[in-house]
Amino acid sequence: MNEGSTIFSQLIAHASRDALDRCIRRYRGNHRVRTFSCRDQFLVMAFAQLTYRESLRDIEACLSALPDRLYHMGIRGNVSRSTLADANEQRDWRIYADFAQGLIAEARRLYAGEPLDLDLEHTVYALDATIIEFCIELFPWARFQKHVSGVKLHTLLDLRGPIPAFARITAGNHADSHILDVLTPEPGSIYVFDRAYLDFVRLRRLNQAKAIFVTRAKKNQKLRRIYSRPVDRSTGLICDQTVVLAVAATAQKYPEQLRRVRYKDPETGRGYVFITNDFDLPALTITKLYKSRWRIELFFKWIKQHLRIKAFYGRSPNAVSTQIWIAISVYLIIAIVRKRLGIERDLYTLLQILSLSLFERIPLEQALGSPDFADIENPAANQLLLLDL
């Protein structure tokens, strides 16, 4: 890595320029563009993400104050509020969605060897969705309830990382279970999700694809027991049963046998009923798999707290999708850098460091690596004391 490059340039260098160029050409992103290219747009929006800019005016003010630094950031076009606004409104958001898919593939490859909390050889995914809310007066097109406006971000999270293996933005009222229609199940992989995805037609497709699912049963779910297996009740397990759907109409949708595991959390005393199509894993592992689903909740919380998807730089559907996909791309680039450089710090800490040091000209490893702390018990001999106590 060139030590004369800025930290921002070194960071962006970990994302393939050729891959972005291919996405731009695929959607003719630079057609009739003279001065502010799609790459310029991506770099400016990535800068806004990393430095927590709140508005187009904020972005323009910061970059116009550092005109000599733009070239070293890789930005060749003139950055103005109107130019960036037009780019976000008009440039196809699919450019950055496709680019993010390439980063997802690279990040998953790097994190493939990460350990799971469970001793499993399977790939384990958590599937869930979160609402990104907007001001209803500014985004009336995104209204999905009387007083609520927003879009829904569906994410399939590979729990080795965790890295999003799939993401899609839909209307806020899009049913969670319908996202199963666009997933391509991987045979032998485990999919963990909550009761919002309990659609037996779609679950049967997962079963037919030789994929494993783990979810919770609804409170009024009618199941008929075929036989029971012995369980160790001291672990919190109540029963481990083979069952079938008891209601004829529902049984037509999923005629195969299912497994029901009842569990009472010894710490909280709360009871759970899990259903799965796997009959080989230990019953306690089924409960732990569902517990691991909370990592996707932490992922959504992290994304909302630390990336710019609350303050938006445009109001159209295209501008919103562009910003969300670039935010996801920034998350993935930092995750890739963290793994490639062998950095032990968490992503939140790396974001904080980057927000203050993008224009420094030091090696990226040095900026993001653990600092060498001085021994305060043995201060340097030439260090003056503030107070002589």
12 or 116, which is more confident: 12
Residue 376 has pLDDT above 50, yes or no: no
Residue 262 has pLDDT above 70, yes or no: yes
pLDDT, tens digit, 9 for 90 and up, residues 294-347: 889 988 988 887 777 767 888 899 999 999 999 999 999 999 999 999 998 988
Average pLDDT of the segment spanning 75-98: 91
Residue 261 has pLDDT above 80, yes or no: yes
User: What is the structure's pLDDT at 371?
Assistant: 59
Residue 55 has pLDDT above 50, yes or no: yes
User: What is the structure's pLDDT at 388?
Assistant: 42
Q: What is the pTM of this model?
A: 0.85
Residue 384 has pLDDT above 70, yes or no: no
* Of 342, 322, 382, 358, residue with least CA distance to 41: 322
CA dist list (Å): 274 to 85, 99, 122, 221, 267: 48, 37, 19, 11, 18
Give residue 64's pLDDT band: very low, low, confident or very high (50, 70, 90): confident
Across-strand partners of 170? 152
Give phi and psi for 370, each to the nearest 5: -65, 135
User: What is the structure's pLDDT at 244?
Assistant: 97
pLDDT, tens digit, 9 for 90 and up, residues 148-180: 899 999 999 999 888 899 999 999 999 999 999
Token pair 């049967």 is at which residue?
A: 204
Residue 380 has pLDDT above 90, yes or no: no
User: What is the structure's pLDDT at 310?
Assistant: 66
Contact 236, 252 (CB under 8 A): no
User: What is the structure's pLDDT at 302?
Assistant: 82
Rounded-to-integer distance, Cα 343 and Cα 337, Å? 8
Give residue 378's pLDDT band: very low, low, confident or very high (50, 70, 90): very low
Contact 289, 214 (CB under 8 A): yes
Task: Indicate the fold that domain 194-286 takes in CATH.
Answer: Ribosomal Protein S8; Chain: A, domain 1 (3.30.1370)
- Write down the mean pLDDT value for the chain: 89
Contact 350, 85 (CB under 8 A): no
pLDDT, tens digit, 9 for 90 and up, residues 192-205: 999 999 999 999 99
* Of 2, 44, 100, residue with least CA distance to 329: 100
Q: Is 316 helix (H, G, I), strand (E, B) or coil?
A: coil
CA 310 to chain centre: 15
* Cis-peptide into 363, omega within 30 deg: no
User: What is the structure's pLDDT at 212?
Assistant: 97
Contact 353, 368 (CB under 8 A): yes
Average pLDDT of the segment spanning 232-254: 95
pLDDT, tens digit, 9 for 90 and up, residues 66-76: 777 787 788 88
Per DSSP, the residues of 141-161 read GGEEETTEEEEEEEEEEETTT
pLDDT, tens digit, 9 for 90 and up, residues 208-236: 999 999 999 998 899 999 999 999 999 99
Give phi and psi for 344, each to the nearest 5: -90, -15
Provide the residue ranges of all domains of the chain, joining segments of one domain with +: 7-95+314-368, 194-286
Give residue 385's pLDDT band: very low, low, confident or very high (50, 70, 90): very low
Give phi and psi for 383, each to the nearest 5: -85, 120
User: What is the structure's pLDDT at 93?
Assistant: 97
pLDDT above 90 covers what percent of the chain?
66
